Amino acid sequence: MKRKPFKDLTGERFGALEVLIRENNRWTVRCDCGRTCTKDSRQLIGNGIKSCNTITCTYYIAARMASRRVADITGQRFGKL
């Protein structure tokens, strides 16, 4: 089985995460909320992780709240309604 060539992710951004350095086959990243954590390449590229995913992460909270917003349909018509 052939291995894919190594891709240096240093300096790249994935959502709120900025890749700082590679250590022991994992990437040290800094979230916009200020936390640093480690992620592997699959988490960053494949799964689309966009923040440190801690409960107190401001980016994570904002993304969750945005997905829960209900559209304001006041004054709109739907058929005869």
Question: What is the spatial distance between Cα 1 and Cα 50, in angstroms, rounded to a whole number?
Answer: 30
pLDDT over 80 (residue 22): yes
How many angstroms separate the most distant Cα atoms in the chain?
A: 63
The model's pTM is: 0.64
Q: Which residues pair with 18 in a beta bridge?
A: 13, 30
Question: What is the spatial distance between Cα 55 and Cα 60, in angstroms, rounded to a whole number?
Answer: 7
Sequence-ordered strand ranges (E) for 6-53: 13-14, 17-23, 26-31, 36-39
pLDDT over 70 (residue 1): no
pLDDT at position 30, please? 94
Region 16-37 average pLDDT = 90
Q: What letter would DSSP give residue 6?
A: P
pLDDT in tens, 53-64: 777 788 777 777
Place of tokens 């304001």: 72
